[in-house]
Chain A
Amino acid sequence: MLRLKKLQIDVNTTNGLFKCDVPFTDGLNIIRGDNTTGKSTCLEAVLYCLGMEELLGGRNEKTMQSVLKTELQYGDGKKYLVVESMLTLEVSNGAKSIALRRAVKSSYRDSRLVEIIDGPALTSPSNTYSSQFAYLHDPGAATDADFGFHAYLEEFLGLQLPIVEHFSGSETKLYLQTLFPTFFIEQKSGWADFLATIPRFGIRNVKSRSIEFILNMDVIENCRKRQTIAQKKAELLGRWRSCYDAAVRTARSCGGLLAGFGRKPTTFLNADEIYIHIIKEEKEIPLGDYVSELHDELRKIEKIPIPTVGNSVEKAGSELNSVLEELNTKSLRHDQLLAEVGDAVSKLANLNKQLKDIESDLRKNKSAIKVQDYGAQLKLNIAEQACPTCQQSIKDFLLPQDIEQEPLRIDQNVSFLEEQRKMVITYIAGQKNTIENKQRLLNAIRNEIHGIRKRSRLLRKELVSDERQPSEAEIEKKVNLRQQIAELTHADELLSEELIELTELSRQWKEVLEEEAKLPKNYFSELDSTKLSELEEEFKALLSKFGYRSKSQDYVSISRDTYLPSVEPLNVKTGTHDYNIRFDSSASDFIRSIWAFTCALFKVSKSQVGNHPYLLVFDEPAQHSMANVSIAAFLEELETYIDAQVIVAASFNNSESDFKEITAGRNFTLYKIDKNLLAP
Chain B
Amino acid sequence: MITFRKKPIAVSPEYRPMYRVCQIVMVLGMASIKKTASLLKLHFFSWAMRSEKNMAEAIKFSKQTRSEFVAVKIWNVEPSLNRALAYAIAEGIIELNGGRYHLASKGENLLRVILEDEQLLISEKKFLNTVKKKISEAHLQRLSKWWENKDA
Contact = CB atoms under 8 A, between A and B. Distances in A.
Interface of A: 167, 360-361, 363-365, 367-368, 370-372, 374-375, 377-378, 380-383, 387-389, 394, 396-400, 404-410, 412-413, 416-417
Interface of B: 6, 8-22, 51-52, 79-81, 83-84, 87, 90-91, 93, 106, 109-110, 113-114, 117-123
A382 B19 contact: no
A405 B16 contact: no
19 contacts: A167-B118, A361-B12, A363-B123, A364-B14, A367-B120, A370-B120, A374-B113, A374-B117, A378-B110, A382-B17, A383-B18, A388-B90, A397-B15, A398-B83, A399-B15, A400-B79, A406-B9, A410-B13, A417-B10
A576 to B, nearest CB: 16
Contact of A368 (B13, B81, B117): B13
Given A397-B16, A398-B15, A399-B80, A375 B10 contact: no
A185 B110 CA distance: 26
B129 to A, nearest CB: 14
Contacts of A368: 13, 16, 18-19
Among the interface residues A367, A374, A382, which one has the most CB atoms of the partner chain B within 10 A?
A367
Given A370-B120, A380-B91, A404 B6 contact: yes
Contacts of A388: 87, 90-91
Among the interface residues B11, B81, B93, which one has the most CB atoms of the partner chain A within 10 A?
B11
A396 B83 CA distance: 12
A398 B17 contact: yes
Given A380-B110, A399-B15, A410-B16, 12 more contacts: A167-B118, A361-B13, A371-B22, A371-B114, A396-B11, A397-B11, A397-B17, A398-B16, A405-B8, A406-B6, A413-B11, A417-B10
Contact of A374 (B16, B114, B122): B114
B45 to A, nearest CB: 15
A406 B11 CA distance: 10
A375 B6 contact: no
A314 B87 CA distance: 93
- 5 shortest interchain CB distances as A-B pairs: A388-B90, A398-B80, A364-B13, A368-B13, A407-B11
B8 A406 contact: yes
Contacts of A405: 6, 8-9
A414 to B, nearest CB: 10
B142 to A, nearest CB: 29
Given A377-B113, A405-B6, A364 B91 contact: no
Nearest to B93: A380
B8 A408 contact: yes
Nearest to B91: A388
A216 B119 CA distance: 27
Given A374-B113, A381-B91, A382-B91, A367 B121 contact: yes
A407 B16 CA distance: 10
A375 B13 CA distance: 15
B87 A382 contact: yes
B6 to A, nearest CB: 7
A279 to B, nearest CB: 42
B122 to A, nearest CB: 8
A380 B84 contact: no
A388 B13 CA distance: 20
Contacts of B114: 371, 374
Among the interface residues B15, B17, B117, which one has the most CB atoms of the partner chain A within 10 A?
B17
A396 to B, nearest CB: 6
B93 to A, nearest CB: 7
A380 B8 contact: no
Contacts of B91: 380-382, 388
A167 B16 CA distance: 30
Contacts of B52: 360
Contact of A396 (B17, B51, B90, B110): B17
Nearest to B109: A378
B138 to A, nearest CB: 29
B8 A412 contact: yes
Contacts of A381: 90-91
Contacts of B122: 363
Contacts of A167: 118
B12 to A, nearest CB: 7
A398 B18 contact: no
Among the interface residues A167, A375, A405, A408, which one has the most CB atoms of the partner chain B within 10 A?
A375
Given A381-B91, A398-B80, A375 B9 contact: no
A19 B87 CA distance: 60
Contacts of B90: 381, 387-389
A364 B20 CA distance: 11
A374 B6 contact: no
Given A364-B19, A374-B110, A396-B17, A413 B10 contact: yes
A293 B84 CA distance: 76
A377 B8 CA distance: 26
Among the interface residues B19, B87, B91, which one has the most CB atoms of the partner chain A within 10 A?
B19
B10 A408 contact: yes
A664 B117 CA distance: 44
Contacts of A413: 10-11, 13
Contact of A407 (B8, B18, B93): B8
Contacts of A404: 6
A380 B93 CA distance: 9
B49 to A, nearest CB: 10
Contacts of B121: 367, 371
A209 to B, nearest CB: 14
